[in-house]
Structures are given as structure tokens and as C-alpha cells.
Structure 1
Amino acid sequence: MDPHPDQPTPAADPPPSSGDGQSPPAQDATQEQPAGARPQDDDLNAVRPQDEPNGGWHAPGQPPSPEPSGQLPGQPPYPQPGQPSYQQQPGQPHAQQQAGGGQVPGQPGFWSPEQPPPWGAPQPPQATQQPPLYGTPPPPPYGGPQPPQYDGTQPSPYGGPQPPPYGGPPPAPYGQPQQYPQQPSPYGQPQQPPPYGQPPVPYGQQPYGQPPYGQPPYGQPPYGQPPYGQPPYGQPPYGQPPFGAYVPYGVREPQVVPAPPSTPYHRLARTAKHTWWRPIVSGLFLIAGAILATVCVVFAWELIHAFVTGEFSEPEGNDFFDSDLENLSLTLVMLAALTPVVLLSARFVQRRPALSLASVLNKIRWRWLLLSCLPAAGYLLLNYALNIAVEAIFPADDTILADEGSWVGFASFIGPALLILLLVPFQSAAEEFIFRGWVIQAIGAYGPDNTRGSRFVQLLKQVLRTPWPALLVSAVLFFLAHGYTGWARLDIFLFAMTIGWLTIRTGGLESAISLHALNNIIAFMLPAATGQLSGWDDQGGAPWTLVAIDAPCLALYAVVVLWLAKRKKVAHLS
């Protein structure tokens, strides 16, 4: 029974017109309302374009979704079943067309805002919970079953549980901050989310000095700790400036460049710094340095002599002082002073290690030097024995082998012997550094690295690459530096060639220094023991027997040294 029989039934909205301009016939949906229920205006259930999904758009030929805006998914349509739906009669205007609410004035059943209808003012649809932004499928058409809201634990009707968008957690309720789990970044560090309420900064627009989102802070190793003994990732090797640091224009080249590996001794001067003029300038530096060193030694010795004796000496001929022992000592010191000169020449002019003159290892091999003294002592003993035998068969006519004088006594011998033992090794080493060291390497540096060219050019280059040109030049300069004549000059030449060849084969000057030093010690000891020290600088001729005696002794010395070098695995290449 209608509780208000004096008021007409409210009119519903006119049905929407079709595309051809014709309106479908109105339906008489007036039904009897049960007792206790208020009549509902059907315009509240009308589907408006802004309430429909996707703004009211639907595919051609497909009816719009009957689900009104504000309707919770899965709930029955409003009004409830069993309640009458008041439909608008044809030709009647919509009841909510006026702003004041109620029906149009002049129509039956008009009410005003001051006088609401007995069943109360129409209630607007209540605000419903907004669906999640991600992962919610659209509602099915024609009122099909609504999919349940995904809460992160329930399975989805579309084939099992769906993960949250982009692998993250589901959105937090409105008004609560979003919780981001600490997930490791690709670089092994936790990824920090942006502050709540601030969108992520696009890549490449981060503030200055800050890394991109998800990147490790600057200066920290991105890949964990490196293996033991290696510098951290992102850092330069030890001893080098950091990457990106300011480096002055023009990096300074190394001052000293050693020879490449597997270089023989006579080619140690042919380094990356070698040019055609360096050996020439080095030779001029050596000559000037030798003159300067000699003058300095003589001047210093004269000052010391004057301080000790109280008067300056008056040179006579080649002798600066009256004492033969003092003259011998001065000469040995002047020759020994050439060693630092030649080392400085190799270091600062040829730009290579100074002790590359000593061996292929750029150092003096002291153990090999001491071991070479054993065959050198055998050479002297054999030479002395052969000399006695030859002297008995072929008496000497030259004074160089004549044994004159007698034993001077131990008191007169000990002083000169100590000076000879102290100074002769340095004098012999200086001569070896110059003739078997610098000269051989200076000539060997001009040997080409390749042998391309014509047949003659190839042959010439191959000869220059061998040590023989350097050995010949060195031996010639060595016997020219001495005052021997005749057969004695040939003997000096054989001596220089033998120890020069051993220098190449053993990769250093040690065997040459040992033989040269022991030979000179004996050569100076004999005059000092017999009182003939005044003739220490006499260098004349010699009979052919000297060459006959010395040649087998040198050959035996070379064989023993090579055997020892092979047995001890002495390096002959750099």
C-alpha cells in the first residue's frame, strides 16, 4: 500500500537516445513498494558517463557496463532487489533538473529544500574504496562476476597469484607511507627509496655530487672487495695518479731506459733512447771528464804532499815526485778516477743504467768475480812455469825478461805491496770499464736491428750485429794506450781479444777484471820485491817467446772460465 497516495510517483530520467535520433519506448517500471521501505529515485541508479569505466567509452556494438559509479565490486546493484524502482513517465521532465532538489515546480508532488519528502532527501552515493592502481583487472561486461580485490595473498582469477607491480609490494592504504623492502642493488648495496611524497628523480637529473638512484655512492667499490694484493676497484694501480686527476701537459719520460730482454752484452747501449749521436757525445764527455779528473787528482795530491812535507814538488819528466812509489800511486789513482767518469757518461749521456757497463744484469756479480780469480791464478802459475822452461831453452836477449836485482827485505817490501794490492784492482777495473765496457758497447750500439737490404747490405748489417767489430776496435785501442813495441804489442792484442771475447760470452766484465787485476799485481810486485820499482813504467819490446808462452795460457784460461760459467749458469743475456 502506498504510504503517500496523494503524491504522484516520481518520474525517472528519459532513456538515452540511440544513434539514429529515435528514443526507445519508455518502460512502465512502476511497482508497488513494500511497507516500511522508502521509495528510491531511479536517477540515483542512472549510469552517467563520468561514472562508467573508461569515462563511458565502450566498444562499438557492445552495451555499456551496467555497474554504476561508486558501486563496490561484487555488490548487488542499487536499489536492493525487492524494492520498487520508480521510473520516469514519458513526457515528464527529470526530477533533479532543478538546482533546488525535488521535482519541478508546478508538477504534482513538488517539494522544496525547506520541505523534504517524507522519506527523506535523496542520499548521494557513498565514497567507496578506490581500487589499487596496479594489478586490478577491469570489470567484466554485462554484470558478470566481479573479480576479488587482490590483497597480495589471494590467488588471482587470471591464472594464479600475480606479483605486485614491478616486483614491489602492494600500494599502502591512503594516507599511510609506502613501505619499501630493502632489496640489494646490482652493486651489492641496499637500494634506498626516495622520500615519501617525492617522485623518483629521472636518471641524469640528480643533484650535483650524488649518484643516480640505486647506484653506490661515489668513491665506494661497486663490486665488493678485490682479490688480495690488488688495488680496490675503481682505483688506479699503486704509484699512479687517480683516474681523472690533473696531469701536467707532457708526461716526463724515464731518465734511464735499460736494454730489452735477451740483449747480448755488446748491444746493451742500444736502448730505446739510443740515437746515432749519443755514443759520440758520450765519448767526448769521457775524454773531457778524464782530463778534468786527472787534473783534479794531481792538484789534490800536490796539496796533500805539500801539507805533509811542507813544500811543493818539482816535476821532472814524467815523474811528479822524487819517490817512485809515490809516482806509481799517483798514476794508479788517476786511472782509477776514470771509473766514475765512464759511469756518468753512460748514465747521463746514453740514458741507460750506469752498471750496464758491468754486466747484463746491470750490476757487478761479485761471486762470479771472486770465482773467476781461481782460473786467473792458474793462468799466472802456468805462465810462470812456462816462462822458466822457455828461458832455459831460449835465453832472453831483451831486458824485459831479464831478472835483475835482489830481495829488498820484508820491511822495504810491505809498504809498496800494500799500496799495490789496494790500488791496482781499481786501476784494472777502470781500464776494463773503458776498453771492454764502454768501447765495445758503443761500437755494438750501431749494429742495426734488421738486416733488410741488398745482398751486400745484408752481409754488412749481419757483421755489424756481431761483437767482432767491437772487439777488434777495443783491442786496437787497448794496445795503442800502452807503450809496448814489437812482439809485446801482439801479446797485448791477444790478451785484449781474449778477455773481450770472454766478456761477451759471460755477459760481464768480471772475468776480464780478475785476470787483468792479478796480472798487474804480479807485474808490479816483482819490481817492488827486487828493488826495481823505478822501472815500473818501462814498456819496451819483447821476444817472440813471450807470445808463445802467453797464447796457450790465455786459451786455457778461456776454456776454464767458459766451463765454470756454464756450470754456474752465468747469465750472458739481459
Structure 2
Amino acid sequence: MDFIKQAFKVKHEFWRYLIGSLIIAIFALIGQVPFTIAAIMKHVAEGGSVYAVDEQRLMTILEPNLNLFLLLLSFAFGFLGLIIVVKYLHKQTMLSVTTARLKVDWKRVMFAFLFWGLISSGMIIIDYFASPENYVWNFELERFLILLVIAILLIPIQTSLEEYIFRGYLMQGFGLLAKNRWFPLLMTSVIFGGMHVFNPEVAKLGYGVMVYYIGTGLFLGILTLMDEGMELALGFHAANNLFGALLLTSDWTVLQTHSVLKDVAEPGAGFGDIIIPVFVVFPILLFIFAKVYKWTNWKDKLFGKIEEPVENDYTILD
């Protein structure tokens, strides 16, 4: 059984996915309460009015490590909501939202994590030596060690929640609704990109950067559909955010950290920032993953129809 079709085994009426998404969002909002209270208290302590709050300022008003911890805490709450929704609303296992394999392939997760972690870190280091004027040394050992603990513990939860929602839960939900594969791939990518529209990067770089976010969603969705599971997407996304948070920060990104380097160049969403990652780097990565894992039948896996299997075709996953 393939990754999307196995959701036929559970309670899969589409209204359940709508209700489930709402429940997950409520849990995530509850998780934002500590951050909101702490940020408003700091705002008021610095002479600001509780009735006139600049949301962009609230996102950076706290000490960076505390800010990061409280921001990521909401994802932990959201993940709890996801588990409850999958188990009780859909009567489904987390395994079947993760992969079509009999168990999670952690070797795939680690391969994608280390592979992209090395490449993305290497690109930052190369650019640092090529354009040193665009960076300042930001490393402070004590603060960095605190960042390291927070990042290792919570960033994988943040990235995993996003993958489970978009490349797992909603990929299956939209797939069973549309009875094809291209619609869930497109819809989850657009929604994933849309979730980033309020990031400060969009305000600074313009809406053109949405091509990058949606393109990243498409890339991760293709990984999931071609590989019949989210393992590669989980590893890639975790590496992208974790290594990025540890190595590089700037004054205009959503996560400002006590990283090793700080980007002080004037930001711009030009050719190199959008076109190259989406239309050059991601296709090359797909080619490499395809060779490593011997993917075939691209047309059917990305555009084929989804038909409910007969009962005796079901495979027990756990």
C-alpha cells in the first residue's frame, strides 16, 4: 500500500481533517500564551502601552535565547494536538502518517539530515569567505551553548510538526478528497508557503520570496510522494532550520539567535536567493535522492489517480 492510500484504513472523512486542523491550531495558540505574556510584560516594563503593541517588535523584544525557546514552545503544544487528533479523531497510528513502510526508516532521516546539513553549512561558510564584508562574528560561547541545547531539543519538533501537518496529515487528507496526487502536492505546498506570509522576511524582501517558500513545499512534497514516506523530508527540514539557526542570524529574520555569524548585508530577494534554490538546487537534490533510493514511475506517483483498495489489499502497518 502506498503512503496516501493507506489512510483509507482509518476514519478519513474530509470534515475530520478540517476539525483536526482546527484542533492542532488551537493547541499551537495555547502554546503561544507564555511567549505573548512574556513579550507584553517586557514591552510594558520598557514604558510601552499594553493597548498599543507593535507585533513585529514583540517578536524580537525578548532576549534571543528566551525568545527562541518560547516561540518554539508553541510547536510542542501543536505536536501534542496532532497526536491527539491522529489517535482519537482518525483512529490512526502516527506511523501511518509518517511512512508506508512497516517502521520509520531512521537511516533515511539521518541521511537527509547530514547530507543537507553539510551542504547548507558549506554554502554559508563559502559565502562568508567570499564576501566577508556581509558578515560579523556573533559567537559568544555561553549564549551559544544555551542556544545549542534549545535548538537541538525544540527545532526538530518545530520542523517535524510542519512536515507532519503538510506532508503527512493534509497530504493524505487532500489526496483522499481529490482521488489524485497532484492536488494534495499543490495544495499543501501553497498552504505551507502561505503560512510564512507574515514572516518578517516577506515584509523585508517582498512577496517574491513566496516563490521560495512554495517551491520548498513542492520539493518536500515530491520527496514524500516519491519515497512513500516523510523520512527524507523530516531530515531535510530539520537540518535546514537547525544548522541555519546555529550558524547564521540577521536583524530581519523570524528567528534571531546567538548564532556563530550575523548577516549584516542589505537583504534582497534576487535571482540567487529564489531562482537558484528552487529551480537549480532542489532539482539537483531530487536527482541525487532518486539515484540513491532508485525511484521510478514518477508520473504515477506525482500525478496518478488514487483509488480505494479492496479490503483484502490492506497491509497491517503495526
- Fold conserved between structures, TM > 0.5: yes
Write out per-residue CA displacement over residues 21-51 of structure 1, whole angstroms, 9 at most, x where no aligned residue: xxxxxxxxxxxxxxxxxxxxxxxxxxxxxxx
- Return the offset for 1:536: 4.1
Greater relative contact order structure (CA < 8 Å, 6+ sep): 2
Runs of 5+ unmatched residues, structure 2: 45-54, 257-266, 296-300, 302-313
1:497 maps to 218
In structure 2, relative to structure 1, the CA distance for the partners of 1:376 and 1:538 (3 Å cut) is closer
2:88 maps to 348
- What is the identity, as a one-letter code, of the residue corresponding to 1:537? V
2:274 maps to 547
Contact 2:155–2:238 (CA under 8 A) maintained in structure 1: yes
Asked if residue 414 in structure 1 is aligned to residue 136 in structure 2, the reply is no
Runs of 5+ unmatched residues, structure 1: 1-261, 306-311, 393-400, 447-463
Which of 323, 343, 346 is residue 63 of structure 2 equivalent to?
323
- Return the offset for 1:313: 3.7
How far, CA to CA, are the matches of 1:268 and 1:280 in structure 2? 19
How far, CA to CA, are the matches of 2:133 and 2:114 in structure 1? 28
How far, CA to CA, are the matches of 1:523 and 1:402 in structure 2? 19
1:423 maps to 154
In structure 2, relative to structure 1, the CA distance for the partners of 1:348 and 1:487 (3 Å cut) is same
Write out per-residue CA displacement over residues 265-286 of structure 1, whole angstroms, 9 at most, x where no aligned residue: 2333222533343223323332
How far, CA to CA, are the matches of 1:272 and 1:515 in structure 2? 28
- TM-score, length of structure 1 as denominator length: 0.42
Contact 1:376–1:557 (CA under 8 A) maintained in structure 2: no
Asked if residue 291 in structure 1 is aligned to residue 29 in structure 2, the reply is yes
Asked if residue 481 in structure 1 is aligned to residue 195 in structure 2, the reply is yes
In structure 2, relative to structure 1, the CA distance for the partners of 1:435 and 1:276 (3 Å cut) is closer
| SS of the residue 2:294 aligns to | helix
Asked if residue 564 in structure 1 is aligned to residue 281 in structure 2, the reply is no
| SS of the residue 2:190 aligns to | helix
| SS of the residue 1:547 aligns to | helix
> Superposition pairs for residues 35-434 of structure 1, below 5 Å?
262=1, 264-271=2-9, 273-295=11-33, 298=35, 313-315=41-43, 317=55, 318-319=58-59, 322-361=62-101, 363-380=103-120, 383-384=123-124, 403-434=134-165
1:442 maps to 173
How far, CA to CA, are the matches of 1:525 and 1:351 in structure 2? 38
- Return the offset for 1:354: 2.8
Contact 2:245–2:255 (CA under 8 A) maintained in structure 1: no
Write out per-residue CA displacement over residues 65-96 of structure 1, whole angstroms, 9 at most, x where no aligned residue: xxxxxxxxxxxxxxxxxxxxxxxxxxxxxxxx
- Return the offset for 1:493: 1.3
Write out per-residue CA displacement over residues 228-262 of structure 1, whole angstroms, 9 at most, x where no aligned residue: xxxxxxxxxxxxxxxxxxxxxxxxxxxxxxxxxx2
How far, CA to CA, are the matches of 1:433 and 1:350 in structure 2? 14
| Number of aligned residues | 268
How far, CA to CA, are the matches of 2:118 and 2:195 in structure 1? 27
- Return the offset for 1:323: 1.1
- What is the identity, as a one-letter code, of the residue corresponding to 1:519? N
| SS of the residue 1:405 aligns to | strand
- TM-score, length of structure 2 as denominator length: 0.71
Greater helix fraction, Structure 1 or Structure 2: 2
- Return the offset for 1:535: 4.4
Identity of aligned residues (%): 20
- What is the identity, as a one-letter code, of the residue corresponding to 1:334? S
Asked if residue 525 in structure 1 is aligned to residue 232 in structure 2, the reply is no
In structure 2, relative to structure 1, the CA distance for the partners of 1:272 and 1:495 (3 Å cut) is closer
2:227 maps to 506
2:254 maps to 537
Contact 2:116–2:239 (CA under 8 A) maintained in structure 1: yes
How far, CA to CA, are the matches of 1:378 and 1:527 in structure 2? 14
341-350 vs 497-506, which deviates more? 341-350
Contact 1:365–1:510 (CA under 8 A) maintained in structure 2: yes
| SS of the residue 1:505 aligns to | helix
Query: Greater Rg, structure 1 or structure 2?
Result: 1
1:123 maps to none
2:305 maps to none
Runs (4 or more) in structure 1 with deviation over 6 Å come to none
How far, CA to CA, are the matches of 2:143 and 2:79 in structure 1? 31
- Return the offset for 1:331: 0.7
- Return the offset for 1:497: 0.4
Write out per-residue CA displacement over residues 377-433 of structure 1, whole angstroms, 9 at most, x where no aligned residue: 3542564488679x87xxxxxxxx983432434344332233223321111111111
Write out per-residue CA displacement over residues 125-170 of structure 1, whole angstroms, 9 at most, x where no aligned residue: xxxxxxxxxxxxxxxxxxxxxxxxxxxxxxxxxxxxxxxxxxxxxx
